[in-house]
Structure 1
Amino acid sequence: MKFSEDIGNALYRITGYGEGWVKVNQEMLQHSFLLGPQTLHRDWEPKSLQELEPRHLDPLFELGAEVIIIGSDPAQNMPSPAVWRALVQNGVGFEIMGNDAACRTYNILLSETRRVAAAFLLR
């Protein structure tokens, strides 16, 4: 799917997605990454929810978001209790969903000028 809504002054927008990839601006990313309106961290280490550890969340928390979205393969299980604990203890809203829903939700929150950050788990 491709879409291209104009979203305020954000430097980084999701402009398309498909199975195994997400397009940020005009760059197709096929490896896990972190995203904020002004930040793109390519090649984030974990590739699945099972590989996700609390330490992987630190760069995401540093983005200062009020809402954090974690996108993954919808067939994956939930993250470990330690990851849940780290997300809850951080004190921001968060949601874990499939990558397609995460792309749509990120852009919607961005269009509402919310402080949003997202992590995408791609293999």
Structure 2
Amino acid sequence: MRLNEVVYSDAKPVEGYGPGFFRIGGTVFEGPVIAGTSGVSAWQGFDDHAPLLALAGKIDILFIGTGAEIAHIPADLRSTLEDAGIGVDVMSSPAAARTYNVLLSEGRRIALAMIPV
């Protein structure tokens, strides 16, 4: 078996999560977050479109974690993001974190917005 060290670009991987928090790049963040090559920042949730729209042109896909269970995001959020040219993939936050980490290790142009579990 051959093992390869995973090297991340400027973005930090999600290392853990729990009730109300995420650990990303060695730092604990309380509440919803956005993560990507520009760093990690607080997010106000599904009604907070501006920081997500700021990613237009910088990413190809945005993973949205909806908490412990998969749920629909508001239709206006999805259409606003898609109109801005941002692909959207919605899943539970644990699944979004795992998917983000894998694609991040491949050097993909991605970002992550998550609601805590």
Unaligned 5+ residue runs, structure 2? none
Match of 2:49 among 54, 57, 61: 57
| Counterpart residue type for residue 68 of structure 1 | L
Following superposition, the deviation at residue 112 of structure 1 comes to 1.1
The verdict on how the C-alpha distance between 1:89 and 1:62 changes in structure 2, with shifts beyond 3 A counting, is same
State the match for 2:30 in structure 1: 30
**Normalising by the residue count of structure 2, what TM-score does the alignment of the two structures yield?**
0.80
State the match for 2:83 in structure 1: 89
**3-state SS of 2:102 partner:** helix
The verdict on how the C-alpha distance between 1:16 and 1:75 changes in structure 2, with shifts beyond 3 A counting, is closer
Tell me how far apart the structure 1 counterparts of residues 11 and 110 of structure 2 sit (CA, whole Å): 13
Unaligned 5+ residue runs, structure 1? 47-51
**Normalising by the residue count of structure 1, what TM-score does the alignment of the two structures yield?**
0.76
RMSD: 2.1
Tell me how far apart the structure 1 counterparts of residues 41 and 60 of structure 2 sit (CA, whole Å): 18
Aligned residues: 111
Q: State, as a whole percentage, how many aligned pairs show the same letter.
A: 27
**3-state SS of 2:96 partner:** helix
State the match for 1:12 in structure 2: 12
Tell me how far apart the structure 2 counterparts of residues 80 and 8 of structure 1 sit (CA, whole Å): 31
State the match for 1:110 in structure 2: 104
**Contact 1:60 1:118 (8 Å CA) reproduced:** no
Any idea what the Cα deviations from partners look like across 1:71-105, whole Å, max 9, x if unmatched?
12243631222112112212222101101001111
The verdict on how the C-alpha distance between 1:79 and 1:11 changes in structure 2, with shifts beyond 3 A counting, is closer
State the match for 1:120 in structure 2: 114
